[in-house]
Structures are given as C-alpha cells and as structure tokens.
C-alpha cells in the first residue's frame, strides 16, 4: 500500500474523530504546529523514521515534546501511530489531514509568483478576486522570481494564469518562430 493511501486513511480517521468531538479547528491548529515542528527539526524526523529506535522511545519523545501543548486527542493519536509502526509517515499524515480539512472547509490554496513582492493590500485584492472566480475561500502565498521581469503568474490547483512579461515574450517568440517556418 502506498504511503499516500495510508496517510490518507489515518488523516480521514483523525478528521472524523475531531468532527465527532466538535473540535476540528483546534485539531487543525495543533496539526499545523506539528507540521512546523517536524519541518524545522530534521533530527526529529530521522528519529521517527528510524526503525531501530524503539516504539517506547519514539512515544516518549513525542509525549515530552507535545504534552500539554496540543489537544490530548492528537497526542493519543500519535501513540496509536507509533504503536502501529506508522511514526515514519507522521508528517505525511499531518499534511494529508490539512489537505482534507481544507477540502471539507472549502479552502483552496493558491500561489502567485511575481517579479517583486506584492503588498498585503494587493495580495488581499488578488485573493478576493480569485475567491469570487472559484467560489471558495482562498489562501494565497506570494513568492518572488525576478526572471519574470514584471507581472505575475497565478496558480490555483491545476490552473495557471501567466500575466508576466517573460511569459508574454515567450509567446511572442513562439509566434515569430512559427511564422518564420
């Protein structure tokens, strides 16, 4: 069974349990915290993925790191994962939980790559426009790529809108090349 399939099943189980207990948003916040800790601490990830390190040791590490800081539901969920030998995919399960949560809440992630950093006002306006177009809540991230020269490229799911100068120059070049033949 693929890692994605396993992660998806565990994430759906956690989401369903959180729904039953009426604390989906609290669990989501705690899962975001877990993801941040795992991504910033490669040593912790290596420990969790190491099959030589005992289940008890992994459980003790997770308990000492998160006890009193996250919802007890999640801490017991970690315990189940560790006992089932799934600590090695804890990050993938957490990321899949966030994806499932976003799907349930109607949240769509989008990115905008621009030649210069966009102001908060411009980001909000663009997010609002995208939200109107797709009829969903949008979480928009901005990255800078100076090779675009000017303009921006927006990605929402599998759709992309290229309004960059570099993109327009590439289209123009392709047009001239096709006309020269």
| Whether 86 and 149 share a structural domain | no
Of the candidates 88, 103, 118, which is a domain's last residue? 103
- Please check whether residues 111 and 22 belong to one and the same domain: no
For the stretch 121-155, pLDDT in tens is 999 999 999 999 989 999 999 999 999 889 899 99
| 71 and 138 housed in the same domain | no
- CA gap 181, 179 in Å, rounded: 5
* Segment 17-44, tens digit of pLDDT: 999 999 999 999 999 999 999 999 999 9
What does the alpha-carbon distance between residue 128 and residue 36 come to, in Å, rounded to a whole number?
27
Q: Which domain holds residue 138?
A: 106-180
H/E element holding 149?
none
Same domain, 8 and 78: yes
Q: Is the pLDDT of residue 181 over 70?
A: no
Choose one of 103, 128, 150: the last residue of a domain. 103
Scored b (16 or more CB within 10 A) or e, 122-153 reads ebeebbeebbeeeeeebebebeeeeebeeebb
Total number of domains in the chain? 2
Residues 8, 96, single domain; the answer is: yes
Residues 47 and 99 both lie in one domain: yes
- Indicate the residue among 103, 128, 155 that finishes a domain: 103
Q: What is the pTM of this model?
A: 0.76
């Amino acid at each position: 069974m693929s890692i994605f399939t396993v992660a998806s099943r565990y994430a759906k189980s956690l989401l369903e349990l959180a729904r039953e207990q009426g604390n989906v948003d609290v669990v989501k916040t705690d899962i975001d915290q877990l993801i941040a800790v795992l991504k910033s601490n490669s040593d912790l990830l290596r420990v969790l993925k190491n099959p030589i390190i005992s289940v008890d040791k992994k459980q003790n590490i997770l308990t000492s790191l998160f006890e009193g800081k996250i919802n007890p539901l999640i801490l017991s969920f970690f315990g189940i994962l560790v006992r089932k030998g799934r600590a090695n995919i804890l990050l993938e399960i957490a990321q899949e939980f966030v994806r499932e949560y976003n799907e349930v809440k109607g949240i769509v992630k989008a990115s905008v790559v621009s030649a210069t950093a966009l102001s908060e006002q411009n980001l909000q306006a663009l997010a609002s426009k995208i939200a109107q177009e797709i009829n969903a809540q949008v979480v928009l991230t901005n990255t800078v790529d100076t090779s675009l020269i000017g303009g921006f490229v927006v990605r929402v799911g599998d759709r992309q809108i290229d309004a960059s100068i570099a993109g327009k120059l590439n289209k123009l070049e392709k047009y001239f090349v096709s006309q020269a033949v």
